[in-house]
Structure 1
Amino acid sequence: MSLGQPTVLLVEDELAQREVLSYNLEAEGFRVARAENGEEALILLAEENPDIVVLDWMLPNLSGIEVCRQIKTRPETRNTPVIMLSARSEEVDRVRGLETGADDYVVKPYSVLELMARVRAQLRRARPSSVGISLEYEDITLDPETHRVTRSGAELKLGPTEFRLLTTFMEKPGRVFTREQLLDRVWGRDIYVDSRTVDVHIGRLRKALSQHGGADPLRTVRGAGYALG
Structure 2
Amino acid sequence: MSKCHNYDLKPAKWDTSQEQQKQRLALTTSQPGENGIIRGRYPIEKLKISPMFVVRVLAIALAIRFTLNTLMWLAIFKETFQPVLCNKEVPVSSREGYCGPCPNNWICHRNNCYQFFNEEKTWNQSQASCLSQNSSLLKIYSKEEQDFLKLVKSYHWMGLVQIPANGSWQWEDGSSLSYNQLTLVEIPKGSCAVYGSSFKAYTEDCANLNTYICMKRAV
User: TM-score, normalising length from structure 2?
Assistant: 0.23
Name the larger-Rg structure.
2
Answer 1 or 2: which has greater helix percent: 1
Report which structure shows greater RCO (CA 8 Å, sep ≥6).
2
